[in-house]
Amino acid sequence: MEQFYTVRDANAKLPDLTRLLQEMQALGLQLAEIQGRGAVVKEKIKTNGDHNPSEDVMLAQSERSLEEALQLAIAQLAEWNIQLKDLQRGLVDFPARLEGRTVFLCWELGEQEVAFWHETDTGFGGRRPIDDRLA
């Protein structure tokens, strides 16, 4: 059965969600750094063949480890029934009910509380302030 959030429930989840999103962002930056280093190594191999083979193993292990950690974090969001929309921004949606239909409570990392919602087909651009129907 699908879990729906009230504004109160979503706000109560913010401390744990904030920690998880910040961790995911850090993992994403580390992964990008490792992948960038891997690209430099591959280019070096193409141009002059000079590289340290042990670095290949280290980069591959680091990349795999970071990807696994990100997958665990994504699984945690799924367990909480929170939809990640943009990791860089820390943008997420919480499914909620409004007048018998599903809508999303919308929150972005750095906001003090869940203060916006939108229809399922409008996204961030359709954000509206939470009103008495959802409060």
Whole-prediction pTM value?
0.83
Assess if residue 118 is contained within a domain. yes
What does the alpha-carbon distance between residue 77 and residue 48 come to, in Å, rounded to a whole number?
44
User: Considering its fold, how many domains does the chain have in total?
Assistant: 1
Range 59-64 contact pairs with CB under 8 angstroms and sequence separation of 24 or more: 59/34, 62/30, 62/34, 63/31, 63/34, 63/35, 63/38
Greater pLDDT, 64 or 35: 64
Which pLDDT score is estimated for 61?
87
Greater pLDDT, 61 or 115: 115
Question: Is residue 3 within a helix (H) or strand (E), and if so which, with residue range?
Answer: none
In terms of Cβ atoms closer than 10 Å to its own Cβ (0-12, 13-18, 19+), residue 86 is exposed
Which pLDDT score is estimated for 45?
60
Assess if residue 1 is contained within a domain. no
Q: Compute φ and ψ for 101, nearest 5 degrees.
A: -125, 160
The mean pLDDT of 49-66, rounded to a whole number, is 77
Strands (E), the chain: 83-86, 91-98, 101-108, 116-119, 128-129
Residue 15 belongs to what domain range?
7-129
What does the alpha-carbon distance between residue 3 and residue 97 come to, in Å, rounded to a whole number?
10
The mean pLDDT of 72-84, rounded to a whole number, is 97
Assess if residue 2 is contained within a domain. no
Assess if residue 135 is contained within a domain. no
Assess if residue 60 is contained within a domain. yes
Question: Model confidence at 60, in pLDDT bands (50, 70, 90)?
Answer: confident
Which pLDDT score is estimated for 102?
95
Which pLDDT score is estimated for 37?
78
